[in-house]
Amino acid sequence: MILASAPAEAKHFIHKKLIGPPLGLLTIAEAVKNHDVTVFDMKGEYDLIPNAPKPDQMVRELLEKINPDVVGTTVITSELYFGLDILRTAKRFNPKITTIAGGLHTTLCPQDLNIPEVDVLCPGQASFTFRDTINALEAKRPLESVKGILIKKGAKLVPTGTLPFYFDTADKHFLMPDRSHLERWRSTYCVGNNPEPATYLFTSLGCPFSCTFCSIWKEYDRKYLQRRVESVIEELKLIDYKIVRFSDANTIVNIDFIDKLFDRIAEEGIDKHYVMDIRADTASSHPKLIEKLAKGGLKVVITGFESFRDEELKQYNKKSEAKLIKQAIDVFHANDILLRGNYVVPPDYDENDFKALSEYANSHKVTYAGYTILTPMPGTVYYEEVKNRIIDHDYSKYNFFNSVMETKLPIERFYENMGKLWLIKKGTDVI
Ligand code: B12
């Protein structure tokens, strides 16, 4: 909705689609690689062929081609209905197909996937439970024997019991993604006007912070899992993409890790461009480290500024201060890093609040700025705080660009103000 109400000159900067490969699917594909596996990036397919058949037909054509025994899909909140439709289509195509859902929304809100056409849920970092499920199906063992999943029994989703031990999917149980599954869509992984496609790589899973609006630390139950430097180096050497976007919630948590990683990148002569999420407080307290990363190839940084007001940062439990935004901008710009600063706008902003944010953003300009709407994603602390005030339960709108709560301003005016904000930045491209 921000896009619809934005001034014409702002529309270009508001991203209509996010670019990137499905790293989660690549990881689970790796877990079952001794089987016949097809990874299909539907989002990539529409980016490749904008007038491709509608999702239903696209899925049916794929099913006819590969005739699978199992169909699985990733479900994040805004994609829930698409995910359910994929699994419905598969079940109707062939009732013998076992349908499996995984991903963040499956983990945090399993009940939302309780429809007759979904057979199994694999919550959490599910590569090994997925593999066990596939092995059980192949051996015709009852799925009750697989721990850590939910299975459909009658109208109920029944948990099979806790896993025998914890899988550290960043370290001991890390699986190297095989990006060759995605060759077909490679050209679609280009961001903005950059002709080079980008790939994603994680150096960590989870987050040690606990911002009220964020799903990630909830998804990982507060765990923060760090990969080993040599494992990341090995992956970087395998990757034939020039641009690597680190998909961590925060790439710099462990200073020692990132410092060593960039020493090793230099030693190995790995020549790539990196995109990272770095907090403002981290940048302001480690300017030398940022300088080193910039020399090692760090080109773009995404920083969640969230708010220019300390009281709002406190409400969000951001554990950072507004004054650090300026310091962080100076550190990044001093190193020629293209900075994307993101603000979140609560639905109760009035004209004065928008004016104040607009003045602040104008006097703290960054290369790219993003302005999204504070959204109660199911499973978050913020959701619990405001759930009685939610007026729109259509999850397809839970993508930070729609207000699902009542706004203080008339809704059209709210979106108009949101749209105008997107003009406040230095850069001329969109990321
Ligand atoms: C990479 C990424 C993307 C990529 C790829 C998404 C994808 N479909 O895989 C792109 C750029 C396309 C993307 C787009 C969007 N994203 Co995104 N994205 C991420 C990011 C940065 C990393 C995810 C990741 O790769 N993690 C590492 C892998 C290994 O973990 P995983 O994906 O969770 O997969 C594991 C399990 O979940 C499970 N699993 C996953 N899928 C499946 C499937 C099956 C069958 C099984 C069994 C298991 C399973 O097993 C995997 C291996 O252990 C996260 C933030 C973060 N740091 O986590 C946001 C995040 C997931 N994205 C988010 C959002 C909101 C979006 C957008 C809606 C943004 C927008 N405004 O448009 C769009 C949606 C578009 C779409 N169609 O998906 C939110 C989701 C919030 C929520 N509650 O739903 C997150 C958490 C960011 C945030 N800070 O809030 N995103």
pLDDT-derived band at 424, boundaries 50, 70, 90: confident
- Check pLDDT > 90 for residue 217: yes
Extract the tokens encoding 212.
């009220």
What was the pLDDT predicted at 166? 78
What is the residue with the minimal CA distance to atom 32 of ligand 1?
24
Q: What is the mean pLDDT of residues 20-28?
A: 94
pTM of the model: 0.95
- Burial of 341 (C-beta count, 10 Å sphere; 0-12/13-18/19+): buried
What is the residue with the minimal CA distance to atom 37 of ligand 1?
103
Please tell me if the CB atom of residue 20 comes closer than 6 angstroms to any atom of ligand 1.
Answer: yes
Please tell me if the CB atom of residue 126 comes closer than 6 angstroms to any atom of ligand 1.
Answer: yes
CB-facing half-sphere around the CA of 423: CA atoms within 13 A: 11
CB-facing half-sphere around the CA of 196: CA atoms within 13 A: 11
Report how far residue 20's alpha carbon sits from residue 197's, in angstroms, rounded to the nearest whole number: 9
Please tell me if the CB atom of residue 216 comes closer than 6 angstroms to any atom of ligand 1.
Answer: yes
What was the pLDDT predicted at 165? 76
- Check pLDDT > 90 for residue 12: no
What was the pLDDT predicted at 431? 58
What pLDDT, in 10s, does the model give residues 172-199?
999 999 999 999 999 999 987 788 999 9
Mutate to test the pocket of ligand 1, among 247, 278, 383 (most ligand atoms within 8 A of CB): 247
What is the residue with the minimal CA distance to atom 14 of ligand 1?
18
What pLDDT, in 10s, does the model give residues 232-278?
999 999 999 999 999 999 999 999 999 999 999 999 999 999 999 99
Mutate to test the pocket of ligand 1, among 40, 46, 78 (most ligand atoms within 8 A of CB): 78
Q: Are strands 150-153 and 156-159 parallel, antiparallel or unpaired?
A: antiparallel
What pLDDT, in 10s, does the model give residues 30-43?
999 999 999 999 99
Selection from 314, 312, 250 nearest residue 286 by Cα: 250
What pLDDT, in 10s, does the model give residues 100-134?
999 999 999 999 999 999 999 999 999 999 999 99
Q: Are strands 150-153 and 120-122 parallel, antiparallel or unpaired?
A: antiparallel
Sign of the CA dihedral with 307 first, then 201, 210, and 253 last:
negative
Percent pLDDT > 90 in the chain is: 90
- Check pLDDT > 90 for residue 26: yes
Extract the tokens encoding 182.
């995605």
Side chain identity, residue 131: R
Q: Which residues are 254's β-sheet partners?
A: none
Report how far residue 368's alpha carbon sits from residue 429's, in angstroms, rounded to the nearest whole number: 8
Please tell me if the CB atom of residue 130 comes closer than 6 angstroms to any atom of ligand 1.
Answer: yes
What pLDDT, in 10s, does the model give residues 348-371?
999 999 999 999 999 999 998 999
Domain limits of the chain? 2-17+189-421, 23-159
Please tell me if the CB atom of residue 104 comes closer than 6 angstroms to any atom of ligand 1.
Answer: yes
Please tell me if the CB atom of residue 134 comes closer than 6 angstroms to any atom of ligand 1.
Answer: no
Please tell me if the CB atom of residue 77 comes closer than 6 angstroms to any atom of ligand 1.
Answer: yes
Selection from 175, 174, 149, 176 nearest residue 160 by Cα: 149
What superfamily would CATH give domain 2-17+189-421? Answer: Aldolase class I (3.20.20.70)
Q: What is the CA radius of gyration of the chain?
A: 22
What is the residue with the minimal CA distance to atom 66 of ligand 1?
399
Cβ(233)–Cβ(336) under 8 Å? Answer: no
What was the pLDDT predicted at 6? 75
Average pLDDT of the chain is 95
Contacts of 67 (CB under 8 A, 6+ apart): 94
pLDDT-derived band at 392, boundaries 50, 70, 90: very high
Report how far residue 369's alpha carbon sits from residue 334's, in angstroms, rounded to the nearest whole number: 18
Report how far residue 253's alpha carbon sits from residue 258's, in angstroms, rounded to the nearest whole number: 8
- Check pLDDT > 90 for residue 150: yes
Report how far residue 384's alpha carbon sits from residue 105's, in angstroms, rounded to the nearest whole number: 16
pLDDT-derived band at 425, boundaries 50, 70, 90: confident
- Check pLDDT > 70 for residue 428: no
Q: How many angstroms does the Cα of residue 371 sit away from the middle of ligand 1?
A: 20
Please tell me if the CB atom of residue 148 comes closer than 6 angstroms to any atom of ligand 1.
Answer: no
What was the pLDDT predicted at 429? 67
- Check pLDDT > 80 for residue 4: no
Please tell me if the CB atom of residue 203 comes closer than 6 angstroms to any atom of ligand 1.
Answer: no
CATH number (3.40.50.2300, 3.30.930.10, 3.40.50.300, 3.30.470.10) of 23-159 reads 3.40.50.2300
Mutate to test the pocket of ligand 1, among 14, 23, 209 (most ligand atoms within 8 A of CB): 23
Q: How many angstroms does the Cα of residue 76 sit away from the middle of ligand 1?
A: 6
Selection from 424, 282, 279 nearest residue 345 by Cα: 424
Instruction: Assess whether the region 2-17+189-421 and the region 23-159 belong to the same CATH fold.
Output: no
What was the pLDDT predicted at 17? 64
